[in-house]
Amino acid sequence: MKKLFACLLMLGTVGLASAQVSNFTGFSGAVNLSAASSNTKVGSFHSLGGDGFIGSFQGAYGMELSSSSVLGFGLTYSAGKSKSDNIIDDSTSDVAIKNQYSLYLEPGALLSDNTLLYGKISVEKGKFAVTSTPASDSFSRSISGTGYGAGLRHMLDKTKFLQVELMKVGYKSIRNTDNTVDIKSSTTLGTIGIGMKF
């Protein structure tokens, strides 16, 4: 009888753990607001920094790895742009990265019934844009890079969740229109978001 009771207790514990991890599995969506700090180095001439806020939309899917761990993957699209200040020389130029999106993997572990700690690695894409006066000095280039970070996700109820996250994104070097100057950008993002499981 004691062995049977122990067996039932063990099965019940496993069932409870599975129910807990299921809070973070399946499809979900979120809207986020990020405080972004951007830096762009233009050859050895300029080092530009800028701060601002960016909104983004997120779609994700989480699958159970074990009774206390989850692997998520998804897509994030930013509705704004990461601005890296202005260059004022012979012309005035606004420097920014826009149309940003990322594909990511997100391994996570339960801290409690309703809270997940996760790490994140991502592939980043976007458009590096220089908008100048005169317009003839303007140009844009596709840009790509990688990101890494960590965050916390907490279930507010059975379907809604709150998340906070810190990410660092580094982009590969690109060259200007004359192919004479290397341009390298990076962005640090602190993000808060609210989402829903489907």
The pTM assigned to this predicted structure is 0.79
Percent with pLDDT over 70 in the chain: 79
Return the pLDDT at 89: 53
26: left (phi over 0), alpha (psi -120 to 50) or beta: left
Buried/exposed code over 155-194 (b: 16+ C-beta within 10 A; e: otherwise): beeeeebebebebebebeeeeeeeeebebbbbbbbebebe
Determine how many CB atoms are found less than 10 A away from the CB of residue 73. 13
Return the pLDDT at 86: 57
* Dmax (CA) of the chain: 88
pLDDT digits (tens, 9 = 90+) for 41-100: 877 766 777 788 999 999 999 999 998 999 999 999 998 777 665 554 545 567 788 889
CA dist 14 and 165 (Å) reads: 29
Q: In which residue are the tokens 């960016």 written?
A: 54
CATH at 189: 2.40.160.20
Q: How many domains does the chain have?
A: 1
CA–CA distances in Å: residue 138 to residues 43, 80, 82, 131: 17, 19, 17, 5
pLDDT digits (tens, 9 = 90+) for 150-176: 999 999 999 999 999 999 999 998 877
3-state helix, strand, coil in the chain (%, to 5): 15, 70, 15
Per DSSP, 170 falls in state E
Point out which residues pair with 68 in neighbouring strands: none
Write out the residue range of the structural domain in which residue 189 sits.
Answer: 2-197
CA dist 7 and 77 (Å) reads: 48
Cα angle 123, 129, 56 (rounded to 5 degrees) comes to 50
